[in-house]
Amino acid sequence: MKRIRKRNDFTGFSCSIVVVKTFKIMRFSIKQINIVCLIIAAGILLSCEPTPENEIVSSELDLSFQSELTAINDLKWDDPKTAIEKADQLIERAEAVDGKYVSGKAKYYKAFIYDDINRDVSQAYYYYNEALKDLQHTDSSSAKMSVLNNLGLLYQFYGQFDAAFNSFEKALELAPDLSIEDLSDVYYNYGVALKLRGDNDSFYAAEEAFTKSLELAREIDYHGQIADVNNIIGLMYKDIKDYDMARIAYKNNIRSYRNDDDMRDYVGRAYHGIGVTYMDEENLEEAVRAFEQALVHKTISSSIFVTKYDLGTVLMRSGHQKEAIEIWKEALKEKHDKSNFEHVQVYANLSKVLAENGQYQEALDYSLAFNESVNQIVKEEKTYSAKNDKVLFEDVIKDYDEFNTPQPFYANIKIMLGLFLLLIPIIYLLTALYYRSKLSKKVSQTVSQIQNEFQHIKVD
């Protein structure tokens, strides 16, 4: 009986060995399947990765693409419609060869046209963001900075200051790869946005941004930027009624560029700024002197109009009606914007003063001109009110985000297939470990039983 039982136990042990060997043979073939699955999964998942940042398709360097970009840029002001058409054609060709830089730059030019020329905020916002998507796959920091800078200005114009700050800060993150000139420009625009928000914290942050812009501009003798920063710092201090600090900033420009013919307009603007500070302080005599010095230096007609208008206002407040009338009439000979309500106020002022002096016909002519301009402004406001409405711009942002929200990873079929193939070897490994553990335990029990049986066998 014991021999038979021993034989049965040996039979079980032999079966266990067969199972182990069979398992090893099966494991070898399954191992090969797992390796294939891993290779395929890795290939699929890697194909879902974005293009490396510095990878630029060779065709993008084609001179025809570059010349077309230049042509679109040159054409945008003279013929924006044709520029958009050419941009669309170039985008289609560039996307066909995965030309991220070219398509991104062309979309940026389209956005600029819609923004600065056509005043179509929805299209501008859309193409700025689409340009940014393409340019993120390139190493062109300057192009990305341009998009982020203009997008920040668009947010700023519609009062979306937090979004504007975010755009400018992203642009500043590119600092190591930006030119000093570009970096100075971004700090300047960032400061302007902070200034426009108007609270105390923003004032000091704006002052810091302008100071940084000024330091960078001085490094490369960027005179236009230096003058712009000094003038806006003067305006910023004037707004908080720190007139002494404002005049110091303006005088920095006058002292630096008084004898530079190329900087005459900047000097003229500085004198104008000083005149405004004196006008706010009711020091009308000094204001007149400053405005007169501004007119000596200014050469741009639209800027001369503003100074003559303010000079006329000061003369009127000083009781010099005749001189005020003459200077306002001279102002109207300069280039001015009849769609700007502040500019057309000069017609209303002339009409009022002339009527008070009994010059009714002339007063009526200016009154009619004023009414015509106002009607035109109202008409334009009705036409473009939607484009200039802050609430609508929030809707534009919302609509873009809704239609361009990235799909969840599981919505990508390639990713799901890759993950599924990746799970096969993982599941196999876990299963193999489980059954190996069970088999090891079974073999251990069988050997233990055999050892026990051998202890009870009596040798004849």
Q: Of residues 374 and 253, which shows the higher confidence score?
A: 253
Around 122, how many Cα atoms within 13 Å sit in the side-chain half-sphere? 11
- Residue 411: its pLDDT value, please? 47
Around 246, how many Cα atoms within 13 Å sit in the side-chain half-sphere? 23
pLDDT tens-place string over residues 241-293: 999 999 999 999 999 999 999 999 999 999 999 999 999 999 999 999 999 99
- Residue 159 backbone zone (phi > 0: left; psi -120 to 50: alpha; other: beta): left
Cα-atom radius of gyration of the chain, to the nearest Å?
A: 38
The answer on pLDDT for 38 being more than 90 is no
Those residues with Cβ within 8 angstroms of residue 354's Cβ, 6 or more apart along the chain or in another chain: 325, 360, 362, 363, 366
- Residue 36: its pLDDT value, please? 60
Distance of CA 203 to the CA centre of its chain: 22
- Residue 397: its pLDDT value, please? 83
Q: Which of 165, 130, 123, 122 is nearest to 147 (CA)?
A: 130
Say if residues 286 and 316 touch (Cβ distance below 8 Å): no
The distance in angstroms from the start CA to the end CA of the chain is: 14
Percent share of the chain, pLDDT over 90: 55
Rounded Cα–Cα distance for residues 313 and 328 (Å): 9
The answer on pLDDT for 368 being more than 80 is yes
pLDDT tens-place string over residues 424-460: 667 767 776 776 676 676 767 776 776 666 665 554 4
Would you place residue 198 in the very low, low, confident or very high pLDDT band (cuts 50, 70, 90)? confident
- Residue 34: its pLDDT value, please? 59
pLDDT tens-place string over residues 385-411: 555 556 677 778 887 877 666 555 444
363 token code pair = 């007063």
- Residue 85: its pLDDT value, please? 95
The answer on pLDDT for 126 being more than 90 is yes
Average pLDDT in the 93-111 region? Answer: 92
pLDDT tens-place string over residues 219-231: 999 999 999 999 9
- Residue 115: its pLDDT value, please? 92
